[in-house]
Amino acid sequence: MMEAQTITFEGFKPLDDAACEERIVAARRKLGDRAVLLGHHYQRADVYKHAELTGDSLQLAKLASKTEAEYIVFCGVHFMAEVADILSRPTQKVILPDLNAGCSMADMASLSKVERAWRELSEVLNPDETITPITYINSAADLKAFCGEHGGIVCTSSNARQILSWAFGRREKVLFFPDQHLGRWTGYLMDIPLSEMLVWDPDLPMGGLTPQQIKMAKVLLWKGHCSVHQMFQAQHILRWRQQHPSGMVISHPECNFEVCKLSDYVGSTDYIIKTIAASAPGSRWLVGTELNLVNRMAAEFSSQGKSVQFMAPTVCMCSTMQRIDPQHLAWSLENLVAGKVVNQIKVPAYEAELARIALDRMLAIS
Looking at the chain, which runs of residues are DSSP E strands?
35-40, 53-55, 71-75, 93-95, 131-136, 153-155, 173-177, 197-200, 219-222, 248-251, 265-266, 284-288, 307-310
Non-local (6+) Cβ contacts of 158 within 8 A are: 56, 267, 268, 270, 271, 366
What is residue 47's predicted lDDT score, i.e. its pLDDT?
A: 94
Measured between alpha carbons, how far is 114 from 61 in angstroms, rounded to an integer?
A: 25
| Residue 248 CA: distances (Å) to CA of 2, 42, 125, 186 | 61, 22, 45, 21
3-state helix vs strand vs coil in the chain, percent to 5 = 50, 15, 35
Position 25, amino acid: V
The amino acid occupying position 130 is T
- The DSSP code for 32 is G
Residues of the chain with pLDDT under 70: 1-3, 315-319
Contact 266, 253 (CB under 8 A): yes
What is the spatial distance between Cα 320 and Cα 77, in angstroms, rounded to a whole number? 7
Taking the chain, what is the end-to-end CA distance rounded to the nearest angstrom?
Answer: 47
For residue 316, what pLDDT is reported? 62
Q: What is the pLDDT of residue 315?
A: 65
Closest CA to 46 of 325, 335, 344: 325
* 288 close to 232: Cβ distance less than 8 angstroms: yes
**Which residue ranges form the domains of the chain, and what is each CATH number?**
10-101+321-347 (3.40.50.10800), 106-226 (3.40.50), 229-310 (3.40.50.10800)
SS (H, E, C) 219-285: EEEECCCCCCHHHCCHHHHHHHHHHCCCCEEEECCCCCHHHHHHCCEECCHHHHHHHHHHCCCCCEE
DSSP helix/strand/coil, 287: strand
**pTM: predicted TM-score of the whole model, two decimal places:** 0.94
Largest interatomic CA distance in the chain: 70
